[in-house]
Amino acid sequence: KNEVEQSPQNLTAQEGEFITINCSYSVGISALHWLQQHPGGGIVSLFMLSSGKKKHGRLIATINIQEKHSSLHITASHPRDSAVYICAVRMGGGADGLTFGKGTHLIIQP
Amino acid sequence: IAGITQAPTSQILAAGRRMTLRCTQDMRHNAMYWYRQDLGLGLRLIHYSNTAGTTGKGEVPDGYSVSRANTDDFPLTLASAVPSQTSVYFCASKPEHGTGELFFGEGSRLTVL
């Protein structure tokens, strides 16, 4: 079973700060997902990546397959970015092959 | 309906009662999943269905059953609810082809007393 560790568990920052959330996993994967969950809300897929880097607006996700590590960055953070960010890894095979991290709770203060 | 719809959004239930959480999607996705989300534990897979007519057990299937009579619907049933099944339940779906992205419903918050 793949172990997925996210850090930090909780993060509070000021509006405009550059945010980094980290995800490490223990076993080789085929892909990694970053998900966003707003308080009381549903879960939205932000990125799926298997190598390199992806960018969408102010969000950037990177992955280093050799080091079994991924980061999610938020530039020019805004209070609406406040949410729980969840990392999930796909090993392939099985029901859906996804193992989820426990999430990083991000609060951006104005 | 657009995407995935779950019902009810919230329910309080007495222990021992039977409860069905409904999940409907209009995206014609083959694969559907039920997860529970508990504080400190993250999302855990309960049951899944890769296509209509088939189902399988996930990580925490005990006390739950599912059916997949057609592509659109994937109900989750608690035959006799227990307090440990108090949780937030998410239904999700995935298309057969594409990036492997999961699409989630808004969640159903269930409290068993």
If interface means Cβ-Cβ distance under 8 Å, which residues of chain A face chain B? 31, 33, 35, 41-45, 48, 86, 88, 90, 95-96, 98, 100-103
Structural contact between residues A88 and A32, judged by C-beta atoms closer than 8 angstroms: yes
The owner of tokens 């990177």 is: A62
C-alpha span between B101 and B65 (Å, rounded):
25
Contact between B43 and B34 (Cβ < 8 Å): no
Map residue A27 onto helix, strand or coil. coil
Minimal C-alpha gap between A43 and chain B (Å): 6
**CA–CA distances in Å: residue A96 to residues A50, A105, B100:** 16, 25, 9
pLDDT at position A98, please?
84
Residue B103: its chain A contacts at CB < 8 A? 45
pLDDT at A23 over 90: yes
> Is B11 in contact with B110 (CB distance < 8 Å)?
yes
Strand B108-112 versus strand B10-13 pairing type: parallel
CB-based contact A45 B40, cutoff 8 Å = no
* Per-residue model confidence (pLDDT) at position A85: 97
With helix as H, strand as E and coil as C, how does chain B read?
CCCEEEECCEEEECCCCCEEEEEEECCCCCEEEEEEEECCCEEEEEEEECCCCCCEECCCCCCEEECCCCCCECCEEECCCCHHHCEEEEEEEECCCCCCCCEECCCEEEEEC
The number of angstroms, rounded, from the C-alpha of B50 to the middle of its chain's C-alpha atoms is: 14
Are B40 and A102 inside 8 Å of each other by CB? Answer: yes
Q: Are A48 and B99 a contacting pair at CB < 8 A? A: yes
Interface probe, candidates B27, B66, B68, B99, chain A, greatest A C-beta count within 10 A: B99
Q: What pLDDT digit, counting tens, does each position of B43-98 carry?
A: 999 999 999 999 999 989 999 999 999 999 999 999 999 999 999 999 999 988 77
Q: Measure the CA dihedral B52/B55/B59/B65, to 10°.
A: 110
Two tokens at A31?
Answer: 């892909």
Q: Which of B60, B63, B78 is nearest to B22 (CA)?
A: B78
- pLDDT tens for B8-46 read 999 999 999 999 999 999 999 999 999 999 988 889 999
What backbone phi and psi angles, to 5 degrees, belong to A47? -145, 150
Note whether B31 and B93 are within 8 A (CB): yes
Place A101 in a pLDDT band, splitting at 50, 70 and 90.
very high
Give residue for tokens 């159903």: B108
> Residue B31 is nearest to which of A88, A96, A103, comparing CB atoms?
A96
